[in-house]
Amino acid sequence: MKRNIDLSTVKGFGDEWSRFDQASLSSHELQEQFNQFFKVFPLDSLPRDAVGFDLGCGSGRWVKCLAPRVGCVHCIDASDAALAIARRNLKDIPNCIFHLASVDNIPLPENSMDFGYSIGVLHHVPDTAAGIQSCVNKLKPGAPFGLYIYYALDNRPAWYRIIWHTSGLLRRIISRTPHPLRYGFSQVIAALVYFPLARLSRLMEIAGFNVEGVPLAGYRRRSFYTMRTDALDRFGTGLEQRFTAAQIREMMENSGLERIVFSDTAPYWCAVGYKKN
C-alpha cells in the first residue's frame, strides 16, 4: 500500500521549524493569526474536557492557543525535528500528548475524538482527500473538524492568478535546491518582495484605499519574522496542491462531514465541518 506522505516535504518542514521555531513571534501576533485560522471553528462550543488532535502540529503554535481551552490535545507530526520544537514550545502546557506519525497512520482510535483540525498541512500530502478522510475517521459523530487548505485563487481576478502562477514556477526551481539555498533564496524574497508589498499595502490602507486585491496585502500587519517564515514555507516546499472552495467542500462531504462552513475572509480557504451521526 502506497503511503500518503512525501518524505522530502517532511524533511523540509523539519528544517523550516528548526529555523523558525516561532519563539520570536509575539503573543499578540500569534493570537491574531490563530483568530484568523479558527474564525469559523466552534471554539466556544467545545467542552472543557474535550480531547482532540492537531494533525501536522509543526511548531505547536496553534496548540499553544487552544490547549488551555480543552482537556487534551494530541500533537501529531511526521517530522521528528518539528515534533522536538513543539515539545519545547509546549513544555509548560501539561495537557499535550505528542505523536510522531503521518496522516495515513494516526495513532488514535477511530470515532474517539471530540474535535480535530489540520491547518496548512493536507495540501502538502500526495492525496489530500485521503488525508481528510483519515482525520475524519478519528472523530466522534457530531465532532467538528477544522481545515485550512491552500486555495486555487478561485476568488481572484485573472491578472492576480497569472502573477501567482509565475511565482509558482520560481517555487518549483527553488524547492529543488539544497536546504541552505532554499533558505537563502526565501529570505531574499521575503526582504525584497514580501516586506515592501506588505508595508505599501499598510500605507495604502491608512490612506483609505481598499487593499484586499493587492498581492501579499495579508501581511500588512504582520511582522517581518512571519514573512520570513512564510516565504520559506512557500518557496521551500516541493509538493504543493491548491483547491477551489467547491473542491474542498466536495472532499469534506465525501469524507463524511456535513454542515460545512467557509470563512469569508483571508486566509483562504478555512473551513469547518461536522462528522455525520
What integer pLDDT is reported at residue 234 of this predicted model? 93
pLDDT in tens, 12-38: 999 999 999 999 999 999 999 999 999
* Parts of the chain with a pLDDT under 70: 1
> How is residue 191 written as a grid cell?
526582504
CA distance 146 to 136: 10
pLDDT in the model for residue 165: 87
> How far is C-alpha 75 from the geometric centre of its chain's CA atoms?
14
pLDDT of the residue at 212? 87
Within 13 Å and on the Cβ side, how many CA atoms surround 21? 12
Angle of helix 224-236 versus helix 7-19 axis, rounded to 10: 160
The tens digit of pLDDT for each residue in 243-258 reads: 999 999 999 999 999 9
User: Residues 13, 67, 118, 52: is their CA dihedral positive or negative?
Assistant: positive
Residue 122, Ramachandran bin (φ over 0: left; ψ between -120 and 50: alpha; else beta): alpha
What integer pLDDT is reported at residue 152 of this predicted model?
94
pLDDT of residue 1: 65
Whether the model clears a pTM of 0.85, i.e. scores above it, the answer is yes
